[in-house]
């Protein structure tokens, strides 16, 4: 698949996820968090392949340097917004507003890519080059997604470990309380 078609498909997929988020009732907190996690993963991988493979190929053309520079700055702002969203709770007051700003900002970026940058690239790069770039992007994307899956596994294991430790601490504390109660009942002083 040529790189332009591929990137547009990604844009559409992320747009659909935002629409799904917008159509949710505000009480569906877990679902909201799940969708945002999917958006974050898709955007992170998408931005990375653009930055590593697509933009460098585009900017070989002097006429595209400025567009690529602007797009990189927009990626930068998008990452800041995603980071800020991470720090908020999905049931918090500012969450939905932040998602909305992210969505609007992103749609502006996507529009510039699809209406200005991609048509220019189609003029400047041969269809053979665009197809080869598409293959590189697909391969790199699979690699990044596989890495994320392993990372997710590691994260789950860490969380399970933390849960187990917390349970053990609670059990220990519970044991201490029982000990103290026994001591109190038997009239001994409690340290």
What does the binding site for Fe ion look like in residue numbers (CB under 5 A)? 7, 50, 113
Q: Single out the residue of 136, 128, 154 nearest to residue 55, CA to CA.
A: 136
* Least distance to Fe ion, CB of residue 75, Å: 6
Alpha-carbon distance of 30 to 170, in angstroms, equals 26
Q: Considering beta carbons, is residue 96 or 116 the nearer one to Fe ion?
A: 116
Q: Considering beta carbons, is residue 7 or 90 the nearer one to Fe ion?
A: 7
Where on the phi/psi map is residue 29: left (φ > 0), alpha (ψ -120 to 50), or beta? alpha
Q: Considering beta carbons, is residue 145 or 166 the nearer one to Fe ion?
A: 145
Q: What is the dihedral of CA 118, 60, 145, 39, to 10 degrees?
A: -40
Q: Considering beta carbons, is residue 91 or 135 the nearer one to Fe ion?
A: 135
Q: Considering beta carbons, is residue 48 or 148 the nearer one to Fe ion?
A: 48
User: Directed axis angle between helix 29-49 and helix 95-112, to 10°?
Assistant: 30
Q: Which residue is listed with tokens 């400047």?
A: 124
* Least distance to Fe ion, CB of residue 176, Å: 56
* Least distance to Fe ion, CB of residue 126, Å: 21
HSE, CB side, 13 Å, CA atoms: give it for residue 174.
6
* Least distance to Fe ion, CB of residue 11, Å: 6
Q: Which residue is listed with tokens 């997710």?
A: 152
* Least distance to Fe ion, CB of residue 47, Å: 6
- Cβ atoms of 140 and 120 closer than 8 Å: no
Alpha-carbon distance of 136 to 65, in angstroms, equals 21
């Amino acid at each position: 698949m040529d790189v332009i078609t591929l990137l547009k498909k990604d844009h559409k997929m992320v747009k659909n996820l935002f629409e799904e988020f917008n159509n949710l009732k505000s009480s569906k907190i877990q679902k909201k968090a799940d969708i945002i996690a999917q958006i974050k993963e898709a955007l992170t991988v998408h931005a990375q392949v653009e930055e590593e493979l697509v933009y460098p190929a585009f900017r070989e053309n002097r006429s595209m340097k400025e567009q690529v520079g602007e797009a990189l700055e927009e990626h930068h702002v998008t990452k800041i917004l995603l980071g800020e969203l991470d720090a908020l709770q999905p049931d918090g007051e500012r969450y939905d507003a932040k998602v909305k700003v992210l969505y609007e900002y992103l749609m502006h970026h996507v529009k510039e890519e699809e209406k200005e940058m991609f048509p220019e690239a189609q003029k400047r790069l041969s269809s053979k080059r665009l197809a080869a770039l598409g293959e590189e992007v697909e391969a790199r994307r699979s690699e990044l997604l596989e890495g994320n899956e392993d990372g997710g596994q590691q994260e789950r294991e860490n969380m399970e470990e933390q849960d187990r430790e917390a349970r053990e601490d609670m059990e220990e504390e519970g044991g201490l309380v029982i000990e103290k109660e026994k001591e109190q009942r038997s009239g001994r002083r409690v340290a």
